[in-house]
């Protein structure tokens, strides 16, 4: 069997209804996994894409605005792979940023990541199994950005969580890693792409010379979910067209 095969594995992808999450769910299914597509909105489109291609997928609703929403996701059939992709963003000058926007982003992008990972790990350890966690970090896990203070804080936190959970769980058969996407053409970057000055400045720094596509992230997630990455632990993999190398 290929070291990149996910045949016989069951994966749960949060925020799988669109964008990066949808692309990851489709790629995991293509590699052979059965995929549980989870989000606060229907993932029917993603499930249909997978099923139409001959794969197996299910829709399971969960709103990660409640950071504990993931606690009950692992009570049924065993899950071998968790992709923590669900996320939101709020933009405003730091002098104007509200507590409500701060809390909303931190709850979804950081607190839910921890408690969903905790529930997954408890289930894996209880059955004496092995598992893979792939967190979606960001370039703002390393940089400050502008006008997104809670997003930046949360994504720095995701990088840190990835490392501490890797330290604690690698010896128990759970690999924890993260992907830090560059500037990807999704709903979260729509405002940037619509601003000619910001879009031009971003593209001028990216050596690849283009915005990334969700599919650019998906195959990296397959690698981190597959046996090929069994000795990779605590890594934050930049998939950014070379942005961080500049």
Q: Which long-range contacts (CB under 8 A, 24 or more apart) does 156-162 make?
A: 157/109, 157/110, 158/84, 158/109, 158/110, 158/113, 159/236, 161/110, 161/113, 161/114, 161/117, 161/135, 162/135, 162/137, 162/234, 162/235, 162/236
Instruction: Let me know if residue 56 belongs to a domain.
Output: yes
Instruction: Let me know if residue 245 belongs to a domain.
Output: no
Q: What is the pLDDT of residue 192?
A: 86
For the chain, list residues with pLDDT below 50: none
- Among 182, 174, 221, residue whose Cα is nearest residue 25: 221
H or E element: which one contains 153? helix 149-169
DSSP 185: S
Instruction: Let me know if residue 243 belongs to a domain.
Output: no
pLDDT single digits (tens) 96-116: 999 999 999 999 999 999 999
d(CA 42, CA 17): 6
113 Cβ neighbours under 8 A, 6+ residues apart = 84, 135, 158, 161
Q: What is the pLDDT of residue 189?
A: 86
Instruction: Let me know if residue 226 belongs to a domain.
Output: yes
d(CA 160, CA 50): 33
Question: pTM score, two decimals?
Answer: 0.96
Q: Which domain holds residue 76?
A: 10-238
Instruction: Let me know if residue 1 belongs to a domain.
Output: no
Instruction: Let me know if residue 63 belongs to a domain.
Output: yes
Q: What is the pLDDT of residue 187?
A: 83
Q: What is the pLDDT of residue 241?
A: 97
Q: What is the pLDDT of residue 150?
A: 98
Q: Which residues are catalytic?
A: 151
Tokens (6 digits) for 194: 């619509």
Q: What is the pLDDT of residue 156?
A: 98
Number of structural domains in the chain: 1
The CATH number of whichever domain residue 230 belongs to comes to: 3.40.50.720
């Amino acid at each position: 069997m290929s070291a990149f095969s996910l045949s016989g594995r069951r994966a749960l992808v949060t925020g799988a209804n669109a964008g990066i999450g949808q692309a990851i769910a489709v790629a995991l299914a293509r590699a052979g996994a059965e995929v549980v597509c989870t989000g606060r909105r229907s993932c029917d489109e993603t499930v249909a894409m997978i099923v139409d291609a001959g794969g197996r997928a299910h829709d399971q609703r969960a709103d990660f605005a409640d950071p504990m929403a993931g606690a009950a996701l692992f009570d049924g059939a065993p899950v071998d792979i968790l992709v923590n992709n669900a996320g939101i963003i709020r933009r405003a000058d730091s002098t104007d940023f509200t507590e409500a926007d701060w809390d909303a982003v931190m709850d979804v992008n950081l607190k839910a990541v921890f408690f969903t990972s905790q529930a997954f790990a408890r289930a894996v350890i209880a059955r004496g199994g092995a598992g893979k966690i792939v967190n979606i970090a960001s370039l703002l896990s390393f940089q400050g950005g502008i006008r997104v203070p809670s997003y930046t804080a949360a994504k720095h936190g995701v990088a840190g969580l990835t490392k501490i959970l890797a330290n604690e769980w690698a010896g128990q058969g759970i690999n924890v890693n993260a992907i830090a996407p560059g500037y990807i053409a999704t709903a979260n970057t729509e405002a940037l792409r619509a601003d000619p000055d910001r879009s031009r400045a971003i593209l001028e720094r990216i050596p690849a010379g283009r915005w990334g596509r969700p599919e650019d992230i998906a195959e990296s997630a397959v690698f981190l979910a597959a046996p090929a990455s069994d000795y990779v632990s605590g890594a934050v993999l930049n998939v950014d067209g070379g942005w961080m190398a500049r």
